[in-house]
Structure 1
Amino acid sequence: MKASKIFKRVRGILIIIPVVLISLLTSSYVDSYFEISKNLDIFITLFKELNLYYVDETQPGDLVEKGIDGMLLSLDPYTTYIPETDIEDYRFMTTGQYGGIGAMIRKKDSLMVVAEPYEGFPAMKAGLLAGDVILEVNGKSTEGKSTGDISSFLKGQPQTEVKVTIKRFGVDKPFDVTIKREEIQIKSVPYLGMLNEEVGYLNLSSFTDNCSQDVKDAVVELKAKGMKKLVLDLRGNPGGLLKEAVALSNLFVSKGEMIVSTKGKVKEWNKDYKATQSPLDKDMPLAVLVNRGSASASEIVSGVIQDLDRGVIIGERTFGKGLVQTTRPLSYNSQLKVTTAKYYIPSGRCIQALDYSNRNEDGSVGKVPDSLITKYETRAGRPVFDGGGINPDVEVKPMPLSDIAFNLGLKMLYFDFATEYRHQHKEIAAVKEFDIDENLYSEFKSWLETKEFDYTTDSEKVMEKLKEVAEEEKYFERIEVEYNALNEQVRHNKTHDLEEFQEEVKDLLRGEIVSRYHHQKGRIEAMLEDDSDVKKALEILADTEEYKRILSNTSSN
């Protein structure tokens, strides 16, 4: 069947046409034309019958979108349909830019609160504070609305105005604030600074447009302050633009070095990306921090640094996303973000952890099996492996938070206390000088007594499950005495836990309070002081012989 006939039959069906085009262009088998036509015909007739005869009224747009989402999800979670209504959100993800007031909002119980006004942007200029409750936006109540709903109300074209009605702790009556929107550019480097006289630190939060230039500028600034060694923090960085990962890697490796290659079904996506510029510094000792939240572009950079023995990777194994997505335009201003290739770092390995092409019988996705894991080597001959992210050169296992420290954060009690503290104290000391002393901690504990705060520990959850299963199997009467004794031993005690885990609680409370005065930079600086990954990086960078040993193909004696 000719392609023109196929297109005629599906004219008017959104999204499907570009997929057909790609299929026709890439397939060399006439049989596939018939399969395309046949299945589109089935889809069209099914869709028509549903709309005509389904007992309740249907929404054609919703049905098609859900059908598309289901189809794409069967491939991988990264191939997605972006309707026109979501284009601005997608633009923000790739550029870090949007029109709005520059504030993070979140839901607290049934209230919509300002979680963080971004430094230098309209919300902060207009006087909004973290903890402010947003009651209305342009006269529309926020009650019952989602965070996404309120976010869309606050966004808009730069230079337009939005009126928000605010309820603030310590102020008797709600009041209105009119804010002029601006083009908001979220900083890809939220913090940089010196950890000591010779070690600099910079945090990269995402790989958005021009982030490599931001990193370059940050390195130059740190060098001016005396930096001779660098800690690059990619923890929690979900990735972003491939070109920025290449450009950032180029800052630290020699011109001409292979950085990454991509290979796909279509030859157009088979590309080699090399360092095309002279490096900013190819010799400065470098430590890169990663964790399970470091993905995609973060793994390209950390993988390049590891494969070329350019620096030491510290932390946890990374996420394992070795797939490349490309955006294709569709009808009605919508887009398709489609996985077009896998990427391969200098050693030749692909770090994709999940095998979406070979699903289990139940449809779930398994990891690449050990039998298919292949050994590769870095330039110095160190063994590295594919199929599971970037394994750090130096592993630092994260310490899990205690239940009480975690639940205080989950229930936003650090947040609420900091809101009240900010109202009562107009300023605090510099970040490094501010601490949660015994007096302030006692104040926090007393304040906590006025709140209805409780929590269930993991041990208590396990005990409850044990009782439930034992009762179902009619064994509980046999073990009831022993069960009750053990249950009493593991039952949490709030007063005891606040003392036992006070260092964790103090650290999190300190970060929250500091952020009210010194903003995001202050929070990051405060948290770095007790950061186990940073401590390990400082330890290794201070020991030249150990640093060299890790990067060579030798073992310690």
Structure 2
Amino acid sequence: MKRLVPFTLLLLASLVAVRAQNDRAFEIAKNLEVFGNVYKNIHLYYVDDVDPGKAVKTAIDAMLASLDPYTNYYPESDMEDVKLQLLGQYGGVGALIHQNGDKIYIAEPYKGLPADQAGLRAGDRIVAVNGESTEGKRNADVSSAMRGQAGTTVTLTLERDGSRFDRTLTRREIQLPNVPYSGMVDGRIGYIKLNEFTQDAGRHVREAFLDLKKSHPAMQGLIIDLRGNGGGLMNEAVDLVNIFVDKGALVVETKGKVAAKNTRSYTTRRADDTTIPLAVLIDGYSASASEIVSGSLQDFDRAVVVGSRSFGKGLVQNILPMPYNNQLKVTVSKYYIPSGRCIQAVDYSHRDENGRAVKVPDSLKVAFRTAHGRVVYDGFGIEPDVEVKPEYMSSLAIALTQRFLVFDFVTEYVRTHASIAPPDRFEVSDSLYDAFVAWLSNKDYDYTTVTERMLKELREVAQEERYLASIEQDLQSMEQRFRGDKKQDLIKHRDEVAAMLKAEILVRYYYNEGRIAGSLSDDPDVQCAVRILSDRKQYSRILSGE
């Protein structure tokens, strides 16, 4: 009799499990039937014609949006976007465009690609694509028209300095560079910028590193810049870590609903350099694969992480083939870095009363330890070892950017300046800055500062609470004094605006490499990393947790 008790309990548990599975299968079948009948009746009885593809995609998108921002459905027409995400490739002419008002302009032709080879310049207005006017069209529509299968042609009608001309370009397979720039800072510290973890990113970083070592044998340290890098392929992150961490180290582990699909990714070959001091730069836009690299190197105590807290994306997506050449990108697991922590910052399975996903509360964050025993935490991205306060754009800088005034000024500047100094020596002189200020004198770039908004709110609250009469005179005095101070913003924010001018001028003459190279000497994060890597005692003290 005693032996029958555990057997009976096991049988009951099995029956409950089977019942639960059957209930779930019934719910799925029932809801699919309901959905099919809803659409069938809309198709039969709705007063206007309904596009079936558009209607079903809207339903699918709404369903996936209730899960997380990374689970997406891609119809066949969007395959170029999928290719761009995974491989950094697309068929096109190799130019960035932007919209100013109802007009579309070339913003940046990429070096050596069809647009650049055809002589297109930043500031050229795109009047028509294959004879179809761009007037009033959205930036995305014009970009889509310019893209297409490699080997096909596209004719652009352009306007420059009041004259119109046509250029017929042959589209190519455009491969966006993973590593747009690598070089030396202060002649002693190497620097590699990695934009995204698309195919071969790890190999490209390795090649850039080995080239720097070969050309600068006395290199004292290396900076890997992952700021603004939203991630990509997980295997490329493992390959990058393997450059600096020897074979056999567990870099990342994934865990999901299907246990058979869980993975453990190790370094697979001998490292190229296990001793060179490393600094990894991150910010709030460093996510996913960027966090695997920065977090694992932090957990191994192999690099000092510098900057500001990363985004906090600890979710892994797979792309699944669907019928009729459609594809589904779906979140299948969470990833865990060497210390055992998951850095996912938002819990999409729990939402507030407004339907918004909630951040992982501090009370649920768990402490983990690095190889040397330093305490690190899960649940909110990668916390840098050395924090550099992020610099936010002033209201003035935002207004100048939104109205493309720096861009337009530089377009005129380039017409009268055939060449400029190399990126590492070019600076915005007082005379150049004064010319920009004078050029702005008849331009509209009105903007509202945070102070102005707060004064307006204070006035509204005071009026509502009937205190306005007693403080009206003081408010008017502050507003008048502030308006006078605001006129000095171009002087007060000279360094910030001059940096914007410098970046835009450098990209016109030296492409993106020049813009990056010219920014390093004024970059607070880079300079902080240089100081740490140049001081071996400080570097070792940070990694030892002293």
Q: Check if 1:190 corresponds to 2:180.
A: yes
Query: Is the aligned partner of 1:209 residue 2:199?
Result: yes
1:310 matches 2:302: yes
Secondary structure at 1:272's aligned position in 2?
strand
In the alignment, does 2:278 pair up with 1:286?
yes
Tell whether the 8 Å contact from 2:249 to 2:267 is kept in structure 1 after alignment: yes
Q: Which residue of 2 aligns with 1:477?
A: 469
Are residues 1:511 and 2:503 paired? yes
Q: Which of residues 85, 91, 95 is equivalent to 1:93?
A: 85
Equivalent of residue 208 in structure 2, options 193, 218, 226: 218
Task: State the identity as a percent.
Answer: 49
Q: What is the aligned counterpart of 1:378 among 364, 370, 375?
A: 370
Please give the secondary structure, in 1, of the residue aligned with 2:351.
coil
Q: Could you list the per-position Cα deviations for residues 202-251 of structure 1 after superposition, in whole angstroms to 9, with x for gaps in the alignment?
A: 10000000011110110011111213310000000000001111111111
Q: TM-score, normalised by structure 2?
A: 0.94
Alpha-carbon separation, structure 2, partners of 1:193 and 1:41:
60
Partner residue in 1 for 2:159: 167
Task: Return the alpha-carbon distance in structure 2 between the equivalents of residues 119 and 270 of structure 1.
Answer: 41
Correspondent of 1:363 among 339, 343, 355: 355
* In 2, Cα distance between equivalents of 1:401 and 1:75: 33
Give the equivalent residue in structure 1 for 2:109. 117
Give the residue type in structure 2 aligned to 1:488: Q
Trace 1:290-369 onto structure 2 (pairs within 5 A): 290-369=282-361
**In structure 2, what is the Cα distance between the partners aligned to 1:468 and 1:27?**
61
CA distance in 2, matches of 1:401, 1:42: 51
Report the secondary structure of 1:518's partner residue.
helix
Helix, strand or coil at the partner of 1:355: strand
**Code of the aligned partner of 1:68:** I
Structure 2 CA distance, aligned partners of 1:493 and 1:85? 53
**Equivalence for 1:70:** 62
In the alignment, is the contact (CA less than 8 A) between 1:309 and 1:551 conserved in 2?
yes
Q: How does 1:207-246 map to 2 (within 5 A)?
A: 207-226=197-216, 227-246=219-238
- Does 2:437 align with 1:459? no
Shift of 1:182: 1.1
1:402-421 aligned within 5 A: 402-421=394-413
Please give the secondary structure, in 1, of the residue aligned with 2:195.
Answer: coil
Q: State how far apart, in whole Å, the 2-side matches of 1:57 and 1:461 are.
A: 47
1:40 is aligned, of 28, 32, 40, to 32
The letter of the residue matching 1:201 is Y
Distance, in Å, in 1 between the alignment partners of 2:481 and 2:324 is: 63
Question: Aligned residues, how many?
Answer: 527
8 Å CA contact retained: 2:279, 2:303: yes
Decide whether the 8 Å contact of 2:61 with 2:73 is kept in 1: yes
- Kindly state the Cα deviation for residue 361 of structure 1 after the two structures are TM-superposed: 2.7
2:182 is matched by which residue type in structure 1?
A: L
Hey, what's the Cα distance between the residues in 1 that align with 2:399 and 2:19?
A: 54
Q: Distance in 1 between matches of 2:94 and 2:188?
A: 34
Cα 1:492–1:414 shift into 2, 3 Å: farther
CA distance in 2, matches of 1:161, 1:60: 32
The residue identity in structure 1 corresponding to 2:379 is G
Q: Alpha-carbon deviation of 1:474?
A: 4.1
User: Residues 65, 537 of structure 1: CA spacing in aligned structure 2 closer, same or farther, 3 A cutoff?
Assistant: same
Once the two structures are superposed, the pairs formed by residues 77-88 of structure 1 within 5 Å of their partners are 77-88=69-80
1:85 deviation in Å? 1.0
1:528 to 514, 520, 541: 520
Structure 1 residues 211 and 474, CA gap change in structure 2 (3 angstroms): same
Does structure 1 residue 268 correspond to structure 2 residue 260? yes
Secondary structure at 1:515's aligned position in 2?
helix
> Is the CA contact 2:102–2:137 (under 8 Å) kept in the aligned structure 1?
no
Is the Cα contact below 8 Å between 2:230 and 2:288 reproduced in 1?
yes
1:493 Cα deviation after fit? 4.7
- Counterpart CA distance in 1 for 2:163 and 2:384 is 54
SS of equivalent to 1:273: strand
The alpha carbon displacement at 1:492 in A equals: 6.0
Determine the C-alpha separation between the residues in 1 that align with 2:19 and 2:443. Answer: 65
Report which stretch shifted further, 383-392 or 506-515.
Answer: 506-515
Q: Are the counterparts in 1 of residues 189 and 223 from structure 2 also a CA contact under 8 Å? A: yes
**Structure 2 CA distance, aligned partners of 1:249 and 1:174?**
51
Counterpart pick for 1:490 among 482, 485, 503: 482
SS of the residue corresponding to residue 366 of structure 1 reads strand
Matched to 1:321, the amino acid is K
Tell me the equivalent position of 2:6: none
Whole-angstrom distance in 1 between the partners of 2:237 and 2:163: 49
Check conservation: 1:457, 1:492, Cα contact below 8 A. Answer: no
Which whole-Å CA distance do the structure 2 matches of 1:27 and 1:148 have between them? Answer: 50
Match of 1:304, SS? helix
Give secondary structure in 2 for the equivalent of 1:163. Answer: strand
Using the alignment, how far apart are the partners of 2:491 and 2:140 within structure 1? 39
Instruction: Please tell me the residue identity of whatever aligns with 1:240.
Output: G
Distance across 2 between alignment mates of 1:494 and 1:418: 24
Secondary structure, in 3 states, of the residue corresponding to 2:169?
strand
**Match of residue 200 from structure 1:** 190
**Among 494, 500, 514, the residue aligned to 1:502:** 494
Answer whether contact 1:460 1:491 (CA < 8 A) is retained: no
8 Å contact from structure 2 (residues 221, 534) kept in 1: no
1:403 Cα deviation from its structure 2 partner: 1.9
Give me the whole-angstrom Cα distance separating, in 1, the residues matched to 2:260 and 2:522: 47
Question: CA offsets, 1:242-285, max 9 Å, x none?
Answer: 11111111111010001000000012321100001111111110
The letter of the residue matching 2:157 is: T
2: CA distance, partners of 1:80 / 1:474: 52
Bigger CA drift: 210-219 or 399-408? 399-408
Paired with 2:459 and 2:344, the residues of 1 have a C-alpha distance of 41
TM-score using structure 1 length: 0.92
Match for 1:202: what amino acid?
I
Decide which of 519, 528, 532 is 1:540's aligned counterpart. Answer: 532
5+ long unaligned stretches in structure 2? 1-17
Label 1:264 to 1:446 Cα distance change in 2 as closer, same or farther (>3 A): same
Contact residue 435 and residue 510 of structure 1 kept, 8 A? yes
